[in-house]
Amino acid sequence: MKKLLIATIIVVAISFTYLDLSFAVCVEGPADTFTCNTNPPNPDLNGVQSDTINDVTVNILAGAEINTQGQPGNLDAVQTTNGNDNITITGGTLRAEASGVQSGNQSDNITVIDSLVSSLERAIESGNQDDVVMVTGSVVTSLSNDGIETANQSDQVTIIDSVITGGGGFFAVDTGNQDDTITLGTGAVLNGGIDCGSQFDTLIFAMDVPEEALLFLSSELAAANPAGDSITINEIFYEWINCEVIVNQLVGVRVVRPVPTLSEWGLIAMAGILGIAGLLYVARRKGISAA
């Protein structure tokens, strides 16, 4: 009886162990919420494929990784369909055979913070209705399409301290029809231009610039053609087409240049040089006195 009890406990323990390992990094929870964490297996090879649920919330936590590259089905890393979806990636990594993030129709919020999104197709793609895309402190790369693409209706795209790359000659940012707003903050780097699309679109430059360059850059923006032009700010090149309004929200900041300092080895070397110079000076003085 005792041996049977021990065997049963071992079997149950092994069963729970395999059950725990069978959970993917992305797990569906209550209220149509998907949470991706660092539980094994990490990376998750299937991602979040929500084809039938509306109003989905997806949270990809720090250290979590999704990688659908090479998997059958040409999978997106995160895909949602209809409903008002909220997708937040904080310190995560998405690598996709298709799109990194593809949200469906209705009004969606896509927030990418301190993360990496790399895909064969569009890295971030939102559907119809009024979508909000915020990228900060991240690297977003498409290998063969737009870096960020939004579809119809009025969308808002904000980029701060991030590198957005469109591959194969495509745009870094491409917004669709209706009245869209694209805001570029400090540290926004675009490998590829901006296509504002049709209707009435606004391109906002809202980065910090050196105080002494503010007047010149402001005059450059005032003279720029919204329909198609370019400018270099903080040594970063920006170009755009099909916009209707350019808004200047540049902020002049005083650049404090640090006073050069010597390292410890530099101080030691300088002390040695000064010591040698001192000895030479003393020897020279003695020579003069003896003469």
- Convert the pLDDT of each residue in 58-110 to its tens digit: 999 999 999 999 999 899 999 998 789 999 999 999 999 999 999 988 889 99
Q: Residue 20 pLDDT > 50, yes or no?
A: no
Is the pTM for the entire model greater than 0.85?
A: no
pLDDT at 259: 60
Residue-level pLDDT at 291: 55
When pLDDT is averaged across residues 127-148 and rounded to a whole number, the result is 95
CB atoms within 10 A of CB 193: 18
Q: Is the pLDDT of residue 263 over 90?
A: no
